[in-house]
């Protein structure tokens, strides 16, 4: 069974996730560690739990979700898995960093493009890839059918949704992604968002004021 560990990093309070299996293989999703102590916190958790990082994944590439990509790359030698439409967003990251007064060194390693219909495999477990654009052009979510959770990036939050006023954002597309890709999942699926507390698909279908289904 897959286990999810969350960390909240950087001044934007972004959620970084480590997902690992019983054999201790793990993937690092959206490493937002900006400060040295945050990098150390991530590394210490991995070492303390005898984990072996095998994947570096981005749900999307806005700067708060990619601060730690380079650290993970240099520490564990991993290529970056992302949707092809996020490549330009990734490359723009340092410019955004200067604008937000949060300069950082960008990822400069190998890119591996992934899309819906593919999955990330950890031993006998897998994370299915859902294409969920709208907040960002190539946003993807990672869904575990067996463990009943989805890591949604900045698509769906507890009581809210991702902003669509950034370049490439579109509320109509975001709404369609939520309705067709996330709200079609079982109601008891846990949603691990890019910011804030976790929720469930059922709760958001009933109570989310931005995209409400029931």
pLDDT in tens, 116-151: 999 999 999 999 999 999 999 999 999 999 999 999
pLDDT of amino acid 214 = 61
Residue 112 has which token pair? Answer: 């591996």
pLDDT of amino acid 56 = 98
DSSP assignment of 35-71? SHHHHHHHHHHHHHTT-EEEEEE-S---GGGTTTHHH
pLDDT of amino acid 64 = 98
pLDDT of amino acid 167 = 87
Residue 7 has which token pair? Answer: 């960390």
Task: Note whether 6 and 192 are within 8 A (CB).
Answer: yes
pTM over 0.85: yes
Full set of structural domains in the chain with CATH: 3-207 (3.60.15.10)
Positions of the chain with pLDDT lower than 70, given as ranges: 214
Please state at what angle helix 69-76 crosses helix 36-48, rounded to 10 degrees: 40
């Amino acid at each position: 069974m897959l286990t999810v560990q969350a960390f909240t990093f950087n001044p934007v309070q972004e959620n970084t996730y480590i997902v690992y299996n019983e054999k201790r293989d793990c993937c690092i999703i959206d490493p937002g560690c900006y400060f040295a102590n945050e990098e150390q916190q991530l590394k210490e958790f991995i070492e303390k739990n005898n984990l072996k990082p095998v994947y570096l994944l981005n749900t999307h590439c806005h700067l708060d979700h990619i601060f730690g990509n380079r650290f993970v790359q240099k520490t564990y030698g991993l290529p970056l898995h992302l949707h092809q439409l996020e490549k330009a967003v990734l490359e723009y990251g340092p410019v955004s960093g200067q604008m937000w007064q949060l300069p950082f060194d960008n990822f400069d390693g190998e890119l591996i493009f992934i899309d819906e219909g593919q999955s990330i495999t950890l031993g006998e477990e897998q994370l299915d890839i859902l294409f969920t654009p709208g907040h960002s052009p190539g946003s993807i979510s990672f869904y575990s059918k067996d463990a009943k959770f989805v890591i949604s990036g900045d698509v769906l939050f507890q009581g809210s949704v991702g902003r669509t006023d950034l370049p490439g954002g579109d509320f109509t597309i975001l709404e369609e992604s939520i309705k067709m890709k996330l709200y079609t999942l079982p109601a008891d699926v846990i949603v691990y968002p890019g910011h804030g507390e976790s929720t469930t698909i059922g709760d958001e279908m009933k109570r989310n004021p931005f995209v409400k289904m029931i």
